[in-house]
Amino acid sequence: MRFGVCAPLEKMDRLAEVGYDYIELGVQSALIPEKDEAEFQQIQAQALSHSIKAEAYAGFLPGDLRVVGDEIDQQRLSSYVETTCRRAQSLDSKIIVYGSSGSRNVAEGCDFDRALGQIADFLSMAADHAETHGIVIVIEPLCARECNIIQTVADGLAMAKRVNRPGIQVLADLYHVWQESEPMSNIVDAAEWLAHVHIAEPVKRSYPGNDSFDFFDFFSALKAAGYQGRVSCECSFDDFDCDVETALHTMKSYLE
C-alpha cells in the first residue's frame, strides 16, 4: 500500500521527510478549476518542484455546482470537470475523490430514484473527461450526518456498477464506514472496484495513533480485498509535523 495525507501544498516537504508516498490536495484550492491558467501554472510549478507528488485530490465540487435537483448547469459542470481532470493530469495525478455532499444532497420531498439517476448521469459525463486524461474518479460514500444519499461502500459500489466505466471507481473511508456501522465485508465485496482509501481514527476523526483505536479489522478487510493502492489520512492533527510521523508508523504497523 501507498500512504499519503490530505494536506495543503506547503506540507509536501514535511511529508516527504517523514516518508509518505504522496500528498492529497484539494481540487478547489490546488486545481482551481474556475480560475485562469496563469494562476494555476503558479501552483503547478510549486507542486512539481517537490520530491513527492499530488497523486490524489479531494473536495471535488463546490456546493453550488449541483448534480441533483432542478438547477443543474450542465455546461458549467462539464467545463469544471474537464478542467479539473486536465490540470490533475498535468500534475501526474491519478485520483479525484467525489464526495461533495453539497452537490448531491437531495432536497426534502424530492425523489431519490431520480437523484440517483442524475448522479449516474453526472458520473457518466465525468468519466468521459477522466478517461481522456488518465484520471479515475472515486465515489466517496458519506455518512448520514453529512449526506443523505450514497452513504455506504455498498451504495458506492452499486453506483459504480450502474455507471460501469473504468474512470469511475469506489472509495472506502473508515470514518464513514464506522459512522454507518457498515460491515467490513462490504469493503471486500467492493474489491474489484476499490481504487482509493481514506483513514482516520473514527471516533474523534483524528490521526492514526492518536489513541488506542485498533485498525486491525479495517486493514484486514483491505488485505482480503487484495488492495494495494493509496491510503490517505483524512483527519485532524494536534501538531501536524509531529503527528504525521506517528500516523505513518501506526498505519505501517498493520502491514507487518
How many domains are contained in the chain?
Answer: 1
Q: Which three cell numbers, joined as nine digits, stand for 218?
A: 479495517
Full residue range of the structural domain in which residue 137 is found: 2-253
Which tens digit of pLDDT belongs to each residue from 15-66?
999 999 999 999 999 999 999 999 999 999 999 999 999 999 999 999 999 9
Residue 12 sits in a domain of what CATH number? 3.20.20.150
HSE value, Cβ hemisphere, 13 Å, CA-based, for 39: 9
Alpha-carbon radius of gyration of the chain: 17
Helix axes 37-48, 74-90, angle to 10 degrees: 30
Q: Which three cell numbers, joined as nine digits, stand for 151?
A: 452513504
Which tens digit of pLDDT belongs to each residue from 61-92?
999 999 999 999 999 999 999 999 999 999 99
Specify whether the CB–CB gap between 43 and 30 falls below 8 A: yes
Residue bearing cell 510521523 = 245
Q: 7 — phi, psi (to 5°)? A: -160, 165
Please give the pLDDT value at position 110: 87
Q: What pTM was estimated for this model as a whole? A: 0.96
Q: Is the pLDDT of residue 109 over 90?
A: no
Which tens digit of pLDDT belongs to each residue from 179-222?
999 999 999 999 999 999 999 999 999 999 999 999 999 999 99
Burial class for 64, CB neighbours closer than 10 Å (0-12, 13-18, 19+): exposed
